[in-house]
């Protein structure tokens, strides 16, 4: 069943990527991180970047966290990173405890919720953007993602 879900997600990401016909350059942004550093999207040029908008109250967001943790662990030193953008008003101590409870190993950046994120319209959470090593947005997924789905999409996009 999980493989079927992964295949559907990959197809959905591919179809969303193809809706615009070509990839669009991601507008550079910088956000404060929970690590007290400022993170710029352009700091990660040369790697795939998974930008994941999420919130602590969002059940599908919670369900995908282990997938993102696994993906980041497997790829961060090689070819890809995850940037989690917390898209809610939550106090820092609560968020620190949440990150610890869920063993989140990727950078968590802070953004105020609203109709738009740094990469475009956010109509639901989680919303994930995939940015290729050149800095182009090549996919957007509203709803949960899996590590395997992201990896398959990266392979399919690289083959083109």
Residues 87-144 pLDDT 10s: 999 999 999 999 999 999 999 999 988 888 999 999 999 999 999 999 999 999 999 9
Distance CA 135, CA 15 (A): 19
> In sequence order, which residues have a C-beta less than 8 Å from that of residue 1 and are 6 or more positions away?
none
Domain residue ranges in the chain: 2-159
Contact of 146 with 153, CB cutoff 8 Å: no
Classify domain 2-159 at the CATH superfamily level.
Glutaredoxin (3.40.30.10)
Distance CA 94, CA 8 (A): 34
Q: How does pLDDT run across 5-57, given as a tens digit for each residue?
A: 555 555 555 444 434 445 688 989 999 999 999 999 999 999 999 999 999 99
Mean pLDDT in residue range 72-84: 97
């Amino acid at each position: 069943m999980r493989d079927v879900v992964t295949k559907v997600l990959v197809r959905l990401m591919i179809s969303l990527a193809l809706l615009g016909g070509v990839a669009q350059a991601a507008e550079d942004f910088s956000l404060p991180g929970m690590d007290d550093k400022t993170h710029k999207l352009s700091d990660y040029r040369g790697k795939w970047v998974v930008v994941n908008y999420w919130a602590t109250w969002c059940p599908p967001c919670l369900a995908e966290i282990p997938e993102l943790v696994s993906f980041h662990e497997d790829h961060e030193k090689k070819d890809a990173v995850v940037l989690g953008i917390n898209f809610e008003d939550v106090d820092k101590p609560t968020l620190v405890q949440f990150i610890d409870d869920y063993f989140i190993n990727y950078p968590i950046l802070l953004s105020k919720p609203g109709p738009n994120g740094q990469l475009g319209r956010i109509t639901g959470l989680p919303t994930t953007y995939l940015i290729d090593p050149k800095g182009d947005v090549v996919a957007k997924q509203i709803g949960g993602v899996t590590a395997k789905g992201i990896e398959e999409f990266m392979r399919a996009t690289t083959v083109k």
